[in-house]
Amino acid sequence: MNRPLRVAIIDDDAGMIQVLEKHLVKIGYEVETFLDPLEATDAVTHGSFSIVITDICMPGLSGLDLLKDIRENSPYTTVICITAFGSVSSAVEAMHAGAYDYISKPFNLSEFSLVVNKAAERYTLHREVEQLRDQLQQKYSMSNIIGKSPGMVRIFETINRVARSRTNALIVGRSGTGKELVARAIHFNGDRAARPFVAVNCGAIPEDLMESELFGHVRGAFTGAVVDTTGLFRAAEGGTLFLDEIGDMPFPMQAKLLRVIEDHQVRPVGSTERIGIDVRLICATNKKLDVAVERGEFREDLLYRINVITISIPELRERQEDIPLLVEYFLHKYAEQMGRSIPAVPRETMDILLRYPWPGNVRELENVMERSLLMCDNATIEPGDLPLAIRHYEPALDLQSIENARLSILDLENKYVAHVLKKTGGDVEEAADILGISVDAVKARIMEAQLDDGLIPWSKP
């Protein structure tokens, strides 16, 4: 059950205070009263009350002076001022000083209740917004980007620098590497954190709707435009617009985006008016934009504008030392959601995770950890709890892996036999034909090397 909102009433009229206190308690508020405004100052200016109701004209300290102290020291407190009949100038001054509302004497209790209840709704909504903003900042803080590899350390350093600036940034990385997470970290760790973060995937918007989506439109601009819309740039006013997969933006739209970046203005579709904007732009792509420029698919001048700072996110297979950290992080995350204890990951399981190349990057690893937590029946995640494709993955045979592994001739032969069998789907006859040896020789090698039938299926005699 939620605790009742605390209300302070400050008035030098004891009779008025008694009536208002009795009424507010009756309708569900927790009330404290003060006859002396000086006595009330410390209590009401340090956030201990949700709502303060104060008379404006009081001896010792005016309600306006008290209001200013509250606004300076407790900005979330909602203040209602009580004014004498006809004191319109005082009421106007109170509103300019930050009062939520005012009520003029004499007033009836139903009118008073309406004003207080609306003030309570405003306070509650304001606090909920602040709590959500705090949760977002916590969710997208630097601590939620996991990694200790040199590449990730450089990214942390870059995020810290970029977050404090208003410079446009380009984030480059394969799908699943966490480009949006980095973009949000830049936003929520900078001075725009209290303003909107608006994310849009350029590849998901139809070409004929993209201009309207980004810049807005006026009513009647085209069939179906029945009302004015602001567009995503204006929706992000004062904050950050994240354009994901910028490389998928149609070429004609690139020129219009360039104009907006240069002029800091947007022109809604169907309008002749340009509207000024204050938006920090962060773009992301999994494409090589310099190659797209050479092919005539991306504007070179736009590339210069969006990549003042470039953040390249390495693929997961390029930062193996981060995999154990990520595994631990995801297991904690999903164990908490499922109400389960956190399972251990034995060395055998971790070796499999380290061996796999993770083409889907961090996103794929997260999905695998969530699935494995559901599949495991005990306090550890065993190899059998991992998906079959990961459990039975064998690296492709290449010269670099051979040199690094320092294999003997026999091991090399076995590795190549396993490679060919995998390529043929376990067809021993086809493998024998490729290897230039008999079917019996292939089967003998399988038996001799004790190759895993589950890993390399083959047709037994």
Which CATH number is 285's domain given? 3.40.50.300
Say if residue 304 is in the same domain as residue 404: no
Q: Is residue 207 domain-resident?
A: yes
Residue ending a domain, choose from 256, 284, 312:
312
Q: Transcribe 133-144 into DSSP letters.
A: HHHHHHHTSGGG
Domain, as residue range, for 442: 399-449
Tell me: pLDDT of 89 over 80: no
Q: What beta strand segments (E) does 84-215 contain? A: 101-104, 169-172, 197-201
Mean pLDDT, residues 8-25: 89
Q: Is residue 458 domain-resident?
A: no
Q: Is residue 321 domain-resident?
A: yes
Q: What b/e sequence results for 259-280 when a residue is b if at least 16 CB atoms lie within 10 Å of its CB, and e otherwise?
A: ebeeeeebbbbeeeeebebebb
Tell me: pLDDT of 460 over 60: no
Say if residue 260 is in the same domain as residue 293: yes
Tell me: pLDDT of 236 over 60: yes
Q: How many domains does the chain have?
A: 4
Say if residue 98 is in the same domain as residue 69: yes
- Tokens for 196? 């909107």
Tell me: pLDDT of 60 over 80: no
Which CATH number is 366's domain given? 1.10.8.60
> What pLDDT sits at residue 330?
92
The SS3 assignment for 38 reads: helix
Q: Is residue 457 domain-resident?
A: no
Mean pLDDT, residues 222-230: 80
Cα–Cα dist 456/441, whole Å: 16
Indicate the pLDDT class of residue 461, thresholds 50, 70 and 90: very low
Tell me: pLDDT of 144 over 80: no
Say if residue 63 is in the same domain as residue 21: yes
Which CATH number is 127's domain given? 3.40.50.2300
Say if residue 327 is in the same domain as residue 301: no
Say if residue 150 is in the same domain as residue 240: yes
Say if residue 182 is in the same domain as residue 253: yes
Which CATH number is 428's domain given? 1.10.10.60
Mean pLDDT, residues 159-188: 91
Q: Is residue 460 domain-resident?
A: no
With 0-12 / 13-18 / 19 or more C-beta atoms within 10 angstroms meaning exposed / middle / buried, residue 43 is middle
Q: Is residue 25 domain-resident?
A: yes
* Model confidence pLDDT, tens digit, residues 198-222: 999 998 998 888 999 999 888 888 8
The SS3 assignment for 80 reads: strand
Tell me: pLDDT of 193 over 80: yes
Say if residue 98 is in the same domain as residue 55: yes
Say if residue 144 is in the same domain as residue 196: yes
| Strands 275-276 and 265-266, bridge-based pairing | antiparallel
Per-range mean pLDDT, top range of 14-23, 52-61, 81-90: 14-23
Q: How far is CA 225 from the centre of its chain?
A: 31
**If you average pLDDT over every residue of the chain, what do you get?**
84
> What pLDDT sits at residue 235?
92
Q: Is residue 454 domain-resident?
A: no
The SS3 assignment for 9 reads: strand
Residue ending a domain, choose from 110, 135, 160:
135
Per cent of the chain over pLDDT 90 is: 35
Task: Find out whether the peptide bond into 106 is cis, omega within 30 degrees of 0.
Answer: yes
Angle between helices 409-423 and 439-449 in degrees, nearest 10: 120
Residues 6+ apart with CB under 8 A from 187: 140, 163, 193, 197, 239, 240, 242, 280, 282
Residue ending a domain, choose from 312, 337, 364:
312
Say if residue 269 is in the same domain as residue 172: yes
Say if residue 321 is in the same domain as residue 307: no
Q: Is residue 1 domain-resident?
A: no
Say if residue 304 is in the same domain as residue 171: yes
Q: What is the pTM of this model?
A: 0.62
> What pLDDT sits at residue 86?
55
